[in-house]
Structures are given as C-alpha cells and as structure tokens.
Structure 1
Amino acid sequence: MTQKLVSRKGFTAAATVVATLLATPQIFAQDAAKEATLLNRWVLDGGPTMLFIGAAVVAFIALAVYNFMNLSKAKYCPSDLQAALMEHMTACRVRSAIELAASHPSYLGRLVAYAFPNIDATQPETLGRDQVEDAIADFTNNESRKNMQWINYISLIAQASPMLGLTGTVIGMVNAFATLRTAGAADPSQLAGDISVALLTTLWGLINAIPCIVVFFVLKNKYNALVAESVHTAEELLNAAVATVNADTLYAKIPEGIAE
C-alpha cells in the first residue's frame, strides 16, 4: 500500500514537472506577444517620425552621460592642486606656481598658467591685478565657448523634440483627412491609425523634451559653479601673494588698538 502511494506521488510530481515544462514556452510566447503589442501600440505605431525622435532620445542620453562625467571637481578645481598652488603663492614662488599649473590638465591649472604670467613684480601693491583679472576673464570666455557647446546641444534637442512630434502630428492629421476624402465617411476604425500617429509622436516628443530641459539647466548651473570656484581660487592665490609682499606695509596701516 505504501509503495503504491509513493509511486502515485512520484507520478504526480513528474506529471507536474512535465506540464510546467510544456506550458513554459506558451507563457513566454504570451509574454512576448504582450511586449510586441505594447511596443507596437506605444512606439512603432508612431510611424517613420519615431525614428528621428528615437535618434534624439539616444543623442540626449549620450550627451547627458558625457557632460555629467566631464563636469567634475577633479577636472576643474582639484583640492590637491589648490593646496599646492596656495603654498607656492603664499611664499611668492610665482614661477613655481605657473610651472605646476602648466603641468596640470585641470581647468584651474590651465587658468593659472594662462593668467599668472601677467603678474607684475614692479607693482608690489597689486602685482598687476588688473592685467591678471583681464587674463582670467579672457580665459573663461574662451573656455566657455568650447565647454558650453556640448551642454547647448541638449538645449537644441529639447527644442527640436517637440517640433519632431508636431511634424508627426501634422503627418497623421494629413493622412486622416486623406482617409476621410477617400472613404467618404468618418469611420473611426479607418481613422484610428492616423490619429495614433498624430498622438504618439507628440507624446514622445514631449517625453524627450521635458527631461532635456531639466538636465540642461542642471548641467549649466553645475558648469557655472565649477568655473566660479576656479576663478575664486585664482583670486585667492593672487591675494595670498599680494598679502605676503605687502605684509609689513599692511600692518603699518592698521591703527593702534584695531590690530589687537
């Protein structure tokens, strides 16, 4: 009796496993059919215009990843370079500071290497501050044109995506009216495909444009913050050298009692 129960249980388990294995392809086929239906309904039914919108989506993702990787403190104003330059400028080793900056590929390094050769030792009170600040302004303007172009491309995609969606909308409406003219009656089943094209392209154009706008302003603000930090660091380095050169004169100008 026990052996019969065991054999029945084994047979039942084996049958369950076999049924599951047989049903698995059907389950996957149903899932694949559902995915294909969703893909057609939400993407492919948008028509040829969806190819251009899809290219805009891919371009946006690539530009966003590139800019987020490029806009880092290590590439603009690294802390180790700040400390090393401050040590040189506090000791008035301007030439050593310029050589160190020129060997560093960061934004701050290139800024210091470009601007600090304008330091004028014949003007001990300012060390040629006006010339240095003019050089800093020239450098930031030149660099802004090169670095902002990759961020501005995201703004371009944000503006172009709704236009692509609108193009698909116009194409869908033109086809819808052409269907009406041919059929001679407003049959919803005949117009459904053309209306789907009109709505899907508009939808995906907006879906791509909205995050483009957000990411554009985030990247722009991040870039401006990194540049501002680099410029502020350069000004602090110059102030450190000026303070060292004019240390005795500076303290001599402080009235008695305030220095304490």
Structure 2
Amino acid sequence: MKMNKNWTRLWLLVISLFVLIGLSAQLQAQGEESSLDESAVLEGDYDEGVSFLRQFVIEGGPIVWFVLMPLSFYSCYQAIDLSIKTSRKILLPQENTEQLKKIAEKGDKEVIKSAAAKQDDLLSYSLSRAFNLVKTKEVGYMGLQQMISDVLQERTLEILRKVERLNLTGNISPMVGLFGTVFGMIKSFNTIVEAGGQPDASQLAGGISVALVTTFWGLFVAIPSLFIYGYLRNKLEAMASEAAVEAETVLDKIEDIY
C-alpha cells in the first residue's frame, strides 16, 4: 500500500511539472514569433532553428500539453505499477505454493486454512476464501473445487479490470491525436482562405504542427500501452491457469478429509 501511494505521488508530481512547463512555454511563445522564418526553412536551417521541445511539445498546443502528455505519463505509471502487481513473486510465488503442498500432505485442514489466510497470492487467496465460504454452506469435495474455481476467476477478473486501464488509454489517445489533427488541418485551411489561396509557408506552419504533433503523441501513447496491456493480460491468464492446477493438486492431497 505504501509503495502504491509513493507511485501515485510521483505520478502527480510529474504531471504537475509538465503542466507548468506547458504553461511557461505558452507564455514564452506569446512573446516570440509563432512560426519559423520561411527563408530559414528554404536554406536548410530548420534543424538549427528548432529545438526538440519546441517542435514536439510547444508547437503541439494545449491538446499535447494538457491531454496527450499527461496520458503518456499516466500510461507509464500504470505500466510500471501493474507490472509490479502482476509479477509472479506477488501473484504466484513458488515458495508459497510449495509450502501449501507440504502442509496439505499432512492432512490438517485447519493448518492449511491458517497458512492460506496469511498470504494474498492467487492460490492462497482462492483457498482461504473457499474454505471460509464452506463454513456457511454444506458442500462436499466437488463443491469445494467449484468454489475455488469461482473465487480464482473472480480474483483474476478483478486484476484484469485494473489492466484494462492500459487498454482504455491505448484506445483513447489515438482518438485525441486525431482530434488534434482535424483541428490543425481546419486551422491550416482557414489560413489558406484568409490569404486568398496563396499563403506563405510560415502561415501554415502553426496548423500543420498541431496536426502532425498531436498524431505523433497519440501513437506514441497508444502503441506501448496496447502492447503492455496484451502482454500483462496473457501473463495474468497464464498464471491464473497455473494457480487453478496448483489448487487442484492441493485439494487432491486433502480429498479424504471431505
């Protein structure tokens, strides 16, 4: 819990920092020329005249500063946090599994309940919850098996709902980027109309920058988010299946008790 709070504080600090950078950049840009000098572009001095910060952050406008950049850091936070929470050491540690198997071999049901209640991994949680439900219901061995399967599925879906946040971020960010692209192109066409059909390249730079930079940020957020989502989902499903097999192994050792 303490680790989660620390990650949340770090995430909020990073987001606040970049919001401040965006605001200060906007104020600075108001006092500067809003686009590149056309002669500098024609002479090939574009790389020298534009920094990475200006090209990929400042020129993107508020859509990048206040939506896409925060989304990128939110997805990073979720990816790191969920990678830790879905690691094997937390969800299905080998030492806990072996300990429960050894206890089950002794055939003491109460000791198994006590040992499972002390841990929060998938196997221990499903066994502990199922044993507690047995107290309120008259079920046999087959009923206990079904309870463990249901509890394990419920626990897996609970974790999957958290992993879905990455999927949501990965699907929203391209839409936000597309919105910025459409906005930038409308701005560029308006510039062409205002210039009587013959605008300077510098007049179009603002709208084109918004159009391209927002698309860039949308894809920059979406691609790793969806990749990590798919990886974590497959990893979690594999561990849930393994936990079900291990739970069945433990139950086989205490079948005679029921």
> Structures share a fold, TM > 0.5?
yes
Percent identity between matched residues is: 28
Shift, 1:105, TM fit: 2.5
Match of residue 131 from structure 1: 143
The 2-side partners of 1:81 and 1:35 are apart by: 60
Match of residue 257 from structure 1: none
Match of residue 192 from structure 1: 205
Q: Deviations over 1:115-161 (max 9, x none)?
A: 245779xxxxxx93321222123212322342112210000010011
Shift, 1:197, TM fit: 1.0
- Alignment counterpart, residue 58 of structure 2, candidates 25, 34, 44: 44
Residue 161 in 1 paired to residue 153 in 2? Answer: no
- Is the 8 Å Cα contact of residues 118 and 128 (structure 1) preserved in structure 2? no
- Is the 8 Å Cα contact of residues 162 and 202 (structure 1) preserved in structure 2? yes
Match of residue 70 from structure 1: 85
- Is the 8 Å Cα contact of residues 188 and 207 (structure 2) preserved in structure 1? yes
Match of residue 229 from structure 2: 216
- Is the 8 Å Cα contact of residues 75 and 106 (structure 1) preserved in structure 2? yes
- Is the 8 Å Cα contact of residues 119 and 129 (structure 1) preserved in structure 2? no
Q: Deviations over 1:32-70 (max 9, x none)?
A: x96962211122211111021101100100000001111
- Partner of 2:254, secondary structure, is helix
The 2-side partners of 1:34 and 1:220 are apart by: 44
Alignment of structure 1 residues 24-35 onto 2, 5 Å: none
- Is the 8 Å Cα contact of residues 85 and 91 (structure 2) preserved in structure 1? no
Paired letter, 2:205: A
Distance 1:107 1:63, change over 3 A: same
Q: Deviations over 1:220-248 (max 9, x none)?
A: 11111222222111100111223x679xx
The 2-side partners of 1:47 and 1:240 are apart by: 64
Q: What is the Cα-based RMSD across aligned positions, in Å?
A: 2.5
Q: How many residues align?
A: 208
Distance 1:34 1:98, change over 3 A: farther
Residue 103 in 1 paired to residue 108 in 2? Answer: no
- Alignment counterpart, residue 127 of structure 2, candidates 109, 112, 121: 112
Match of residue 55 from structure 1: 70
- Is the 8 Å Cα contact of residues 118 and 131 (structure 1) preserved in structure 2? no
Structure with larger Rg: 1
The 2-side partners of 1:175 and 1:234 are apart by: 61
Match of residue 88 from structure 1: 103
Shift, 1:198, TM fit: 0.5
Paired letter, 2:203: Q
Shift, 1:86, TM fit: 1.2
- Is the 8 Å Cα contact of residues 159 and 209 (structure 1) preserved in structure 2? yes
Q: Which runs of 4+ in 1 moved over 4 A?
A: 33-36, 117-120
Query: Structure 1: 5+ residue runs without aligned partners?
Result: 1-32, 121-126, 247-260
Match of residue 22 from structure 2: none
The 2-side partners of 1:88 and 1:190 are apart by: 76
- Is the 8 Å Cα contact of residues 154 and 212 (structure 1) preserved in structure 2? yes
- Is the 8 Å Cα contact of residues 176 and 195 (structure 1) preserved in structure 2? yes
TM-score when normalising by structure 1? 0.73
Paired letter, 1:46: G
Range 48-57 or range 75-84, more displaced:
75-84
- Is the 8 Å Cα contact of residues 184 and 207 (structure 2) preserved in structure 1? yes
Paired letter, 2:164: N
Match of residue 249 from structure 1: none
Paired letter, 1:49: I
The 1-side partners of 2:183 and 2:49 are apart by: 26
